[in-house]
Amino acid sequence: MNKTRQPFAILGMLFLMGTLLLACSSDKEQAGNIAATTAPATEASVSPAVPAATTRSYTDYKGHTAEIPVNPQRIIYSGETYGDLTALGVQAIGYPLSMGEGQVFEDKLTGVEDVGFPINLEKTIELQPDLIIYAGIEEADYEALSKIAPTIIFNTFAPLKERMLEIGDILGKKPEAEAWLAEYGAKEEAMWAQLKAAGMKDGETASVFTYYPGDRLFVMATTGLSQVLYGEQGFKPSPAIQQVLDDDMGFQEISLEVLQEYAGDRIFLLTPVAEEAKQSTDKLLESAVWKSLPAVKNGYVYTQDITKTSSDATTREWLLGELPAMLGKQ
């Protein structure tokens, strides 16, 4: 009886062992399949991030292309509108300090190194800039500077809005530039409303004159104080000045004989820096031509230091407060 049951017991054990082996084999295959499908996802999840670019390609208005820093830190600025930088809270490491003498932004130049005018190449090399912004247009200057650091030729005579958006882009501060322009626009609108409430009439004309050494009289057009005066809500240019504006000229030399053609209902006379030019101005004020002008007879003549009427953003903002004060002194 026991001998008969033994073969069946052995067969049962063999069958059970075979089943266990098959199960183990199946589990290993499934584990392998799971590993095969999950391994790439695990590797992808720990792949290092692509580093952000530190430079970018930029083409200036003269057609030069350079690789400039995304966020420049050591800037040399050589041009008339340094106040564009200060309006955005930026300080250069180098600037022709003679250009800043007497300017509204002069107090912002503490710690800035003098690179001279014309720009001194040895001093530029010494400062180790990572970006040079240059207002000159000579190709030889550009070639020399671009060998020191990435160099941009910048149009400092462009209109304020265009210029601020461009310099904001160059400096990696475009949102700040847009915010500054919005705030400036609101202040400008408020200023004109204030002046009109004080008696400024629609359609009134205005002119800006100044002397340069050599007894040379100039009427200002697309630069300096004129840019503020001829705003959309502001004064109008006389027909003769409108022609200068249409020709996109910053200023034009005129003779005393045609002064009356350019003179507006209000005249702004810029006090020059050079002593010789100051003497020419004094001589003008004593002339019969000057005394015959309607603006002079009506007491609508205003004087301002020429260094306080630059086109840069910081000066432009300052003038929004100064202009009502000037007109209020009549």
Q: Is pLDDT at 197 greater than 50 in this prediction? A: yes
Cα 284 from Cα 215, distance rounded (Å): 10
Please give the mean pLDDT across all residues of the chain. 88
Mean pLDDT confidence for 127-142: 96
Over 50: is that where the pLDDT of 23 sits? no
Whether domain 184-328 has CATH 3.40.50.1980: the reply is yes
Tell me the average pLDDT across 299-316: 96
Residues in Cβ contact with 36 at an 8 Å cutoff, skipping those fewer than 6 apart: none
Nearest to 219 by CA among 277, 263, 157: 263
pLDDT band at 26 (very low <50, low <70, confident <90, very high): very low
Residue 74 is predicted with a pLDDT of 98
Closest by CA position to 252, among listed 219, 280, 206, 213: 219
| Domain boundaries of the chain, sorted by first residue | 55-172, 184-328
Task: Give 294 or 48, the one with higher predicted confidence.
Answer: 294
pLDDT number for residue 52: 78
Looking at residue 41, what is its pLDDT?
44
Count the neighbouring beta carbons within 10 Å of the beta carbon of residue 4.
Answer: 7
pTM for the model: 0.82
| Other CB atoms within 10 A of residue 265 CB | 19
pLDDT of residue 47: 54
What's the rounded Cα separation, in Å, for the pair 209 and 224?
11
Measured between alpha carbons, how far is 227 from 234 in angstroms, rounded to an integer? 10
Q: Is 184-328 the same fold as 55-172?
A: yes
**C-alpha span between 262 and 209 (Å, rounded):** 9
* pLDDT score of 19: 42
CA-to-CA distance for 93 and 113, rounded, in angstroms?
6
Query: Tokens representing 296?
Result: 């002079």
Q: Is pLDDT above 90 for 5?
A: no
Average pLDDT over residues 66-92: 97
Residue 278 pLDDT > 60: yes
| pLDDT at 15 > cutoff 60 | no
Q: What percent of the chain has pLDDT over 70?
A: 84
Cα distance between residue 298 and residue 158, in whole Å: 34
pLDDT, tens digit, 9 for 90 and up, residues 27-72: 444 444 444 444 444 444 455 665 778 999 999 999 999 999 999 9
Domain 55-172 has CATH 3.40.50.1980: yes
